[in-house]
Structure 1
Amino acid sequence: MFRLPYVPKSEELVDRAFSSGAKNAKMARGRGPKIQDKILTGEIRRVEVMSAVINGELDAVVTQFPRYEDLTEFQRHLLDLKIDKDRYKKSLATVKWCSERISFLKNKTLRKLKTQKDTQQSKAFMGRCDSFVKRINPELKYLVDARKILTAFPPIRADTPTLVVAGLPNAGKSTYTVSLTGSKIKIASYPFTTVEIMVGYKKIKYTDYQIIDSPGILDRPMHERNT
């Protein structure tokens, strides 16, 4: 249902940013008459690239993970069964905070590099980046787990008329669902059970219908079913 970006570990992200920064700093120095100017040019580039790497990956998580409020009622129900919504929202907010801090530090460091020409500023920037990114490692780990849950959601379209095929086990529900919808069947697991559901689509008299092979026979009120 969701196509979400890769969520890096803090150490992995820091290593990637430092490596890219060092490589680009070396390339930016080039040739010039003054050694100090070449070093300064390289350090400016180092800061720019490190920030771009960290901001790019953190911003992808913040913008591409769904906001809890934007989920459908069905999606919120599934998510609530597996994770704490407040922790989920806090994790995304913390990642956003870190990205904003890195951007602020980048701008501050670049101003000092260009005005004071103090190349030690880039080392201070590297240390602060390492500290901020490692501080949010628990939130990144939490979002790794949330990503697994979200990407495993069954592909239910909340705005599509739905037909549910229910019945006893081995009654031929899956075969019937396939015969109705053809071969384009999507299979997904409910996040709170080991049961898989089949979802297909079929146009009937100009209307698209969603056909779901539901586990169970729907013989009990919702509050009496296992969740």
Structure 2
Amino acid sequence: MSFEVVDKAKLPYIYTADELISMFLTAYAREEARGSTAEPAFVKQKRLEIRRIVTSGKLLASTLRDMALRMPFLDKLHPFYRELIDVVYGAQVYKHAVAKVGNAHIAIKAIAKEAITAVRTAADKSQLYKARKMYQARVIDLLRDLAPELDKLREVVIYLRKLPSVDPTLFTIAVAGAPNVGKSSFVRCVSTAEPEVAEYPFTTKQIHLGHIILKGDKVQIVDTPGLLDRPLAERNAIERQAVLALRHLANVILFLVDPTPHSGYSLEMQKRLYDEIKTSFEAPTVAVVNKVDIATQEELEKARELFNPVAHISTLNCHGTREVVDYVLNKYYVPLALEKLREIRRRA
């Protein structure tokens, strides 16, 4: 089964309730009287009111429907994006917001239809004005009622626009580990990404993406939020984004270890996290010891005993980071690329 990815170009602009009310009233007022000057003034006024109702109602209904239809449909999205929206906003909350905004165009049409009937049957100007006020009041009440859902969709769109354009079909290296062990610095050293780097936990609030450009191809490298040593059910939304990246994107998991006290997390805690990742995800996990520029010999020796790392690096000056990427690509990417090439030749 093929899944869709989030196409940022297709994401709609989500109007606020106040913006929609302003749009509605402007469209209503923009219509001007037409017709023969010989036509009775009351009849002419009725025609104008009906035209105003039709024009403003159509504009509003089409705007609401278009916003809803251009939002991603969860059931069609790649599991990474689908579960990401569920983690951050809640799948049911999101679906409810999309459905309520989308179905509002039906209510708008019904209100307009009733208003047109009231205008046509109005016996005098007072009834005509009453029909107008009733129409406008009902539409405005409906839009104000939609405000929470519109605000929620606006949040989702802003979040998705900021999210990197992840391609689940590309070979992906996911960089994992406890908070503040140097994941963002590593990604910055080896790829096109420029994630924020700072000396405090959870600098990475969401997934960041970089690319390693190869001859005729590219590899994704994902900087994930830091993970803590606790069960998945107890993890917060930031940590669960990392879990999703590991589950749905990673071809290889690069686990960074900080042997020093600077991250605030002991080697024992990091080892428990490392063991959990190795047993919880299908992708192979490779341990790399970071911060060799400041670690003591005793700290490095203890890290070697616990993790049996493939390399020792320093992301402060990018020492050894390229060699780690070369190791990962040669061991895991090249065999897959060769297999794909052989498959293409077999089909040809």
TM-score range, shorter chain: 0.7 to 0.9
TM-score by length of 1: 0.75
Structure with the greater alpha carbon radius of gyration: 2
User: 1:28 aligned to 2:33?
Assistant: yes
Higher deviation after alignment, 98-107 or 214-223: 214-223
Partner of 1:211: 220
Letter matched to residue 221 of structure 2: I
Secondary structure of the 2:166 match is coil
Higher deviation after alignment, 90-99 or 30-39: 30-39
**What are the residue-to-residue correspondences of 1:73-222 with 2, within 5 Å?**
73-111=79-117, 113-114=119-120, 116=121, 119-120=128-129, 121-158=131-168, 160-164=169-173, 166=175, 169=182, 173-178=187-192, 193-194=204-205, 197-200=208-211, 202=213, 204=215, 208-215=217-224, 217-218=254-255, 220=274, 221-222=276-277
Letter matched to residue 149 of structure 2: E
1:51 to 52, 57, 82: 57
Q: Is the 8 A contact 2:17 2:144 kept in 1?
A: yes
- Distance in 2 (CA, whole Å) between partners of 1:172 and 1:186 is 10
- What are the ranges of 5 or more consecutive residues in structure 1 without an aligned counterpart? 179-184
Of structures 1 and 2, the one scoring higher in RCO (CA 8 A, sep 6+) is: 1
- What are the ranges of 5 or more consecutive residues in structure 2 without an aligned counterpart? 1-5, 197-202, 227-253, 257-273, 282-348
Q: Identity over aligned residues, as a percent?
A: 19
Q: Is the 8 A contact 1:197 1:214 kept in 2?
A: yes
Q: Is the 8 A contact 1:58 1:96 kept in 2?
A: yes
Q: Is the 8 A contact 1:28 1:45 kept in 2?
A: no
- Distance in 2 (CA, whole Å) between partners of 1:187 and 1:103 is 47
User: How large is the RMSD of aligned CA atoms in angstroms?
Assistant: 3.3
- Distance in 2 (CA, whole Å) between partners of 1:165 and 1:75 is 16
Letter matched to residue 218 of structure 1: F
How many residue pairs end up in the alignment?
Answer: 209
Shift of 1:80: 2.2
- Distance in 1 (CA, whole Å) between partners of 2:17 and 2:93 is 18
- Distance in 1 (CA, whole Å) between partners of 2:91 and 2:174 is 31
Shift of 1:74: 0.6
